[in-house]
């Protein structure tokens, strides 16, 4: 299989086949981001021959009679059919509709059991697609996109150079909804900065409450020295929230969300993993957050963050 650099995927895509169709990010400007800094280029689409040869490799390994017999002789269980493919890279959804349909057709050709195709997407990826394009993509299997919107706070979006506004989030996500393409949000706790987290959380809840993400998954800002944000801090232009403030911000977010969604703080950036359905589990989530805020020491949370080698 062709895999380039560190491969990132949401925790809930653990059972999906990871197929490299892009590497890197077309935007590559967010001040806090170091996710694709190990690549020698900004963004690249994989050659179609590489995508096809990876699909062929999976087909042979999974479904070839010799492979099945070898697995049986080794006492291994019969492999389950692959139901979902997750395209790798920061925003493969930016590819043209024609390219995405071509990739979906290749996936169907080699792995007909696949029902849906997911990937990370930027809010701006759908701007150059028509409503008809989005419907075609849904029909081809694209569904369950993961969008790192980070926040609905326009000041923070602008400072961090995310490249879109809260109004863009609303416009583009409503278009996805019209095409019946489901999506989940990653939220970045602390993106608004010291003293502004709760305001940012309220602004985000206001935006999210107008939409229908299947998930809101907070990650916690962890600043690495190679990021532009680190330089901004050194230059006195931005201050990070304390760790306890980050949990106050999360509490405000949960408190102000009034949509039906799954709330899940997963991944290494969260010292505490929190999961629950909203609104059903809201009280329980708030109680857990209160316990963290009042019972866990700032130094211990800080120690956890300082010792995170990578996200």
- Give the residue carrying structure tokens 């080698």: 309
35 binds ligand SF4 (CB under 6 A): yes
| Closer to ligand SF4 by Cβ: residue 36 or 93 | 36
Cβ closer to ligand SF4: 141 or 144? 144
Which residue lies nearer to ligand SF4 by CB, 27 or 129?
Answer: 27
- Counting residues that bind ligand SF4 (by CB under 6 A) gives 11
CB of 147 to ligand SF4, least distance (A): 10
User: Per CB under 6 A, does 30 bind ligand SF4?
Assistant: yes
21, 23, 25, 145: which one binds ligand SF4 (CB under 6 A)? 25
Q: Which is nearer to ligand SF4, 91 or 288 (CB)?
A: 91
Residue 144 CB, shortest distance to ligand SF4, in Å, is: 18
Residue 191 in contact with ligand SF4, rule: CB under 6 A: no
What is the end-to-end Cα distance of the chain in Å, rounded? 24
For ligand SF4, the binding residue among 62, 122, 246, 248 (CB under 6 A) is 122
The verdict on 229 binding ligand SF4 (CB under 6 A) reads: no
Among 148, 184, 197, 218, binds ligand SF4 (CB under 6 A): 148
Distances (CA, A) of 296 to 250, 266, 291, 299: 15, 19, 7, 9
Stretch that binds ligand SF4, among 27-35, 62-70, 136-144, 300-308 (CB under 6 A): 27-35
Q: Which of these segments, 20-28, 61-69, 130-138, 225-233, binds ligand SF4 (CB under 6 A)? A: 20-28
Contact positions vs ligand SF4 (CB under 6 A): 25, 27-30, 33, 35-36, 90, 122, 148
């Amino acid at each position: 299989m062709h895999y380039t650099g560190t491969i990132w995927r949401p925790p809930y895509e653990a059972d999906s086949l990871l197929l490299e169709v892009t590497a890197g990010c077309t935007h590559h400007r967010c001040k806090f981001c170091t996710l694709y800094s190990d690549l020698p280029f900004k963004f690249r689409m994989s050659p179609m021959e590489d995508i096809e040869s990876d699909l062929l490799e999976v087909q042979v390994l999974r479904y070839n009679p010799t492979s099945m017999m070898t697995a049986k002789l080794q006492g291994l269980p019969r492999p389950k059919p692959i139901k979902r493919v997750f395209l790798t890279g920061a925003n493969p959804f930016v590819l043209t509709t024609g390219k995405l349909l071509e990739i979906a057709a290749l996936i169907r050709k080699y792995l007909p059991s696949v029902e849906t195709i997911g990937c990370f997407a930027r809010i701006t990826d759908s701007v150059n697609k028509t409503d008809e394009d989005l419907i075609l993509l849904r029909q081809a299997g694209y569904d369950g996109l993961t969008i790192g919107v980070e926040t609905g706070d326009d000041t923070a979006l602008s400072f961090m150079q995310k490249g879109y506004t809260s109004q863009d989030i609303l416009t583009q996500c409503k278009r996805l909804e019209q095409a019946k393409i489901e999506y989940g949000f990653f939220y970045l706790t602390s993106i608004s900065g010291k003293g502004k987290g709760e305001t940012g959380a309220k602004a985000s809840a206001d935006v999210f409450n107008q939409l229908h993400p299947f998930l809101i998954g907070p990650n916690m800002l962890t600043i690495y020295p190679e990021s532009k944000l680190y330089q901004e801090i050194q230059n006195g232009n931005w201050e990070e929230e304390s760790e306890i403030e980050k949990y106050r911000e999360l509490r405000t977010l949960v408190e102000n969300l009034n949509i039906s969604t799954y709330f899940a703080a997963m991944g290494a950036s969260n010292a505490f993993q929190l999961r629950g359905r909203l609104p059903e589990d809201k009280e329980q989530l708030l109680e857990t957050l209160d316990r963290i805020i009042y019972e866990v020491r700032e130094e211990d949370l800080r120690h956890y963050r300082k010792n995170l080698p990578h996200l």
